[in-house]
Structure 1
Amino acid sequence: MKNRQPLRLMTAEGELRGGMDDDLFVFKGIPFAAAPTGALRWRAPQPVAPWPGVRDAVTFGDASWQNRELCQIAGGGDPGPLSEDCLYLNVWTPDVAPSRPLPVMVWLHGGGFAMGSGALPPYDGKRLAARGAVVVTINYRLGHLGFFAHPALDAEYRNGGVVNNFALLDQIAALQWVQRNIPVFGGNRDNVTLFGESSGARSILSLCCSPLAEGLFHKGIVQSAYGLPDRTRSAALQQGEQIAAHFGLKDATAEQLRALPAHAFWSLPPPLAQGPVPIAGDAVLPQPMLTTFMTARQHRIPLIAGSNSDEASVLTYFNVDTAEVMRQLRASRPLSYRLLKWLYDIHDDRLLGRAAARDMAFSVMPWILMRAQHNVGMPGWRYWFDYVSERSRDLYPHGAWHGNEVPYAFNTLAAMTPGDIGRPFTETDHLLSQRMADYWFTFARDVGEFSHRLEGELSWPAWHPEEDLTLSFGEKGKNALSLKRNFMRARLRLFRLMMRSMVKL
């Protein structure tokens, strides 16, 4: 049994006092950059001023401004206090003085770049850390505080190198903090796995394309990344001017923009709201992410990538009627409509639209990523998550919703409250969660650039175009692990070609 007294550790920025959770050391609310407020709004994250004495690290830091109610409904829970001063991270570690440095797993939360925090219950690092990893979760700037372009701000970069993706820079700053400090927590700075879901997964792909992030992490687990094209800088600049005009600042100066209240941005109407994608063309993301992966110019690191069986569940939050979309397609492009019906053999327009939307937005991305990995000579593993909690299968008739896999990957079902209090998680649910978390941890601990398979309950071979193997967690909602060959191959080939055309446009 470890000493139950609070642990004190000396980091590069100052001394921290952490706490205990059973036999794990936990440090919360560690600042990894200066508060991005006042004159530092819409600037690259700046170093933290060293603090005197000992800083308590037992309470989560504030989350970025966002819609609290939406995060509670769709983002994983209550994000806690909100503030523009939000650049904090949290660390769980089983041992600060291990005989060998431990693998490091850094989590980037999802939420469409508009909600979430590293402190939400599904992201508790306890169960992964108990397997032998140092787990880090972070906050980063959201919405227009994290992604913004305006001519007055561009003018501050007189020698080029304009920055618009401040949230991605926050993530890079957190990875730099890991490189400086993680050995003190028992972690191996040369074995850092970045993992994330939805916009967190999209962030990983963006960092795989950013020259500023190269070498800061060594592997990635990409959960439910979507294939929407990045926003162009010209479109972002136009929106920035529209936002300034919305606030009565037609010819805004940088000082006037920074004087606007931080909480005013998240409630902007849809045409002015920040979309769920980064901005392509700045110093952080010089080229669109899809272009970089389709031309196999991403950083050479091993990847796991996959998606869920009912990702189209996310369309509910955007009030998309899939049956109406199919009716419009049938009227405007009858050949495309008939092709979809042939590919899916589904004759209900609502279900056809749901399946097609899932695959075009989500399922095709892991397949594209695997091809890109093969083209740069790096191993990749593709998965499919199709498990639904035993007592809730009537509530999820089309499979696992967007985000449902997260507590399984973290093995945090015990910390979760089921959507219906009368449907508690079962022993079988927990077993599937343990299986998935074991694969994630094994990848972080063991995989390198020359790995050919990931060992586990089923030996999981790295993806190869001739075999095209996908590991399925669940089968039609039920508990099973299986390797699928050429899974969705015909339709994903077609959708990849369609995406390539979109990128060219």
Structure 2
Amino acid sequence: MSRSVLLELVAASSVLLFWLPAATHAAPRDTVVETSNGAIEGVSENGIISFKGIAYAKPPVGDLRWREPQPVTKWSGTRKANHYGNACMQNPDQSAENGGDPGPLSEDCLYLNVWTPTLSSKAKLPVIVWIHGGGYVLGAGSLPVYDGTAMGRKGAVSVNLNYRLGPLGFFAHPALDKGASGGPYNFGLYDQVAALKWVKENIIKFGGDPDCVTIMGESAGGKSVLWHFASPLSRGLFQRGIAESVYMLPDVKLEKARTVAAKVASAVGLNGAEASLDDLRKVPPDRFFKITDKEANLGPVGIVGDAMLPRSIADTFESGAEARVPLIIGNTSDDASVVASFGLSPDEIMKKLGAAGFALKLLYPGVPADKLPRQALRDILFTLNTRWIADRRARHSPTWRFYFDYAAAKDRPNWPNGVPHGGEVVYFLDTLDKSYAKRDHAYARKVSGYVFAFADTGKPSFDGAAEWQDHKLLRDRTLVFGEDDIEQRRNFMKARLDVLKGVTKIADTLFGK
């Protein structure tokens, strides 16, 4: 029986009831799933069943703060899964200004959400797991732009999740090493792995195929995708990846992470590196997100030195030791819109680069002087990173590159420099709101069509779509999502990026390494 026929039969089937244990209520069979931790009841609307606020780990509070995520205690009866769980602790003002209100905040935040067109375990639909961005200091799966309904309608099971952020998610204070060294330190990444293990164990009951999982994310979410490619703890938990707007910022070495953690402790009123773990765990969680000391900030990167990240992303990909599964990677035409949060000012870049800045001018003929720093930083931090990753993976695994430059008419007045960082997400996930024109929604369906095809078959190809070949060292290909069309380009920015291959020295200048 074909997948499409199966979906139609499931959608048309009559509602059946069954009796739950005495302590619970009766619920429609087509909205109840018996997970490994207990039964949950979702909500069916317009052909899609959603399950929100599913706990995938115990609340990381009290003695579980700065510990690996622990298994959920099994429950009896049926839990309602009709509203989002708490978002992880973050600065709510900063969140509202950079992506939207994540809702109630709490340390009790390790929840995920699922959207599916069927609960048939025989459907074996492709699974897409979205990892939100936000510089590892903000964001949540509950934001409307990450809604999984559209992907569900295409025939995928869509999942997104929350994970610990800021100092609660990435922390290497010396007190953590008392009695045993070696971490963990990347608690937010451990959370993501716990969520992927939950998917592996449970997603078949939601109509998904546990052996056809695509991990997908933008910015810090895209960086997370690459970390999972690099991490030995993530192997076998996914079969494809999509990394959007991943920045070229080096992972933090353990020594520096410990120094930053000591400054965090001082900033919350404790005795720096000498603070005890007990005292650190007694600090109210919101205090960690009111710190103003810039030196008490790791930046949007992970910590090299625990079982999750024994080696940096760069070292792992350089040696070809990452997961050898298909990858899509790319960036937007104005990803530099986010650099202020990295502590960089495009207007001062040329001064800081000195002679190198003069050389950069030759790579951008016709670009006005006031736009040159912004475009140069876009390419140094984002476009080149896409090319660098693709070049290395071309030796052994299929990798597709993209460049996103489509702006809806209503957005163009506010986007004079191109598509800003994160501006492509609503197209890749097909989550544009109703205020956009039909043309924009049609474009989103095309872009998200590549995503679904890739998740389903391992190749971003479907009938009627522009051809998108994978990148090879001798076949440089990039799919450009432009305002007028979607087309594959040969040698996209190749001459410029070839020159920028010496960017390590430029990056050292920018970041003061």
Q: TM-score normalized by structure 2?
A: 0.90
Q: CA deviation at 1:392?
A: 2.5
The residue identity in structure 2 corresponding to 1:248 is L
Residue in 2 aligned with 1:461?
469
In the other structure, the counterpart of 1:129 is: 152
Q: CA RMSD in A?
A: 1.8
Identify which of 165, 170, 173 aligns with 1:150. 173
1:114 aligned counterpart, secondary structure: coil
Structure 1, 461-470 or 165-174: larger mean CA deviation: 461-470
The separation in 2 between residues aligned to 1:61 and 1:218, in whole angstroms, is 27
Partner of 1:482: 487
Q: Distance in 2 between matches of 1:183 and 1:347?
A: 52
Task: Write the mapping of 1:229-268 to structure 2, written as runs, cut at 5 A.
Answer: 229-246=250-267, 247-250=269-272, 251-268=274-291
Match of 1:419 in 2: none
1:421 matched residue in structure 2:
none
The SS at the match of 1:470 is strand
Given candidates 409, 423, 427, the residue that maps to 2:438 is: 427
Contact 1:182–1:189 under 8 Å retained in 2: yes
Deviation at 1:454, TM superposition (A): 2.9
Corresponding position of 1:117: 140
1:130-150 Cα distance to aligned partner (Å, 9 max, x none): 111000000000001100011
The aligned runs of 1:165-176 (5 Å cut-off) are 165-176=186-197
Deviation sequence 1:146-202 (CA, Å, 0-9, x none): 00011111124x2x5421100000000000000110011011000000000000000
2:412 corresponds to = 393
Q: Which residue of 2 aligns with 1:420?
A: none
1:496 aligns with 2:507: no
Q: Secondary structure at the match of 2:451?
A: helix
Distance 2:125 2:505 in 1: 40
Question: 1:90/1:324 Cα in 2 relative to 1: closer, same or farther (>3 Å)?
Answer: same
Equivalent position of 1:472 in the other structure: 480
2:378 maps to a residue whose letter is R
CA distance in 1, matches of 2:219, 2:242: 11
AA aligned to 2:500 is F
The separation in 1 between residues aligned to 2:325 and 2:195, in whole angstroms, is 19
Q: CA deviation at 1:500?
A: 8.3
Counterparts in 2 of 1:268-307, with a 5 A limit? 268-269=291-292, 270-307=294-331
Please state whether the residue corresponding to 1:429 is helix, strand or coil. helix
Show the counterpart of 1:373.
393
Q: Tell me the CA shift for residue 324 of structure 1.
A: 2.5
Q: Distance in 1 between matches of 2:91 and 2:326?
A: 35
Deviations 1:185-239 (A, max 9, x none): 0110000000000000000111111111111111000011111001111001011
Equivalent pair of 2:121/2:205 in contact (CA under 8 Å): no
Gaps of 5+ in 2: 1-10, 16-27
Partner-residue secondary structure (3-state), 1:343: coil
The structural deviation recorded for 1:495 is: 2.8
Partner of 1:441: 452
Query: 2-side partners of 1:112 and 1:403: how far apart?
Result: 12
Could you tell me whether the CA contact under 8 Å between 1:323 and 1:349 is conserved in 2? no
* Residue 73 of structure 1 pairs with residue 97 of structure 2: yes
Which amino acid is the alignment partner of residue 310 of structure 1? D
What is the distance in 2 between the residues matched to 1:347 and 1:208? 36
Please report how far the alpha carbon of residue 393 of structure 1 lies from its aligned counterpart in structure 2 after TM superposition: 1.6
- Tell whether the 8 Å contact from 2:172 to 2:185 is kept in structure 1 after alignment: yes
Alignment check: 8 A CA contact 1:148 1:164 kept? yes
Q: Is 2:185 the partner of 1:180?
A: no
The one-letter code sitting in structure 1 at the alignment partner of 2:138 is M
Shift of residue 347 of structure 1?
A: 5.8
Q: TM-score scaled to structure 1, two decimals?
A: 0.92
Structure 1 residue 34 displacement after superposition: 0.5
Q: Is the 8 A contact 2:380 2:503 kept in 1?
A: no
Q: CA deviation at 1:98?
A: 5.9
For 1:39 and 1:312, the matched residues in 2 are separated by 40
Of all paired residues, the percent bearing the same amino acid is 41
User: Given that residues 467 and 488 in structure 2 are in contact (C-alpha distance below 8 angstroms), is that contact kept between their aligned partners in structure 1?
Assistant: no
Alignment pair present for 1:363 and 2:387: no
Give 2:183's match in structure 1, choosing from 143, 162, 167. Answer: 162
Cα distance in 1 for partners of 2:156, 2:367 equals 47
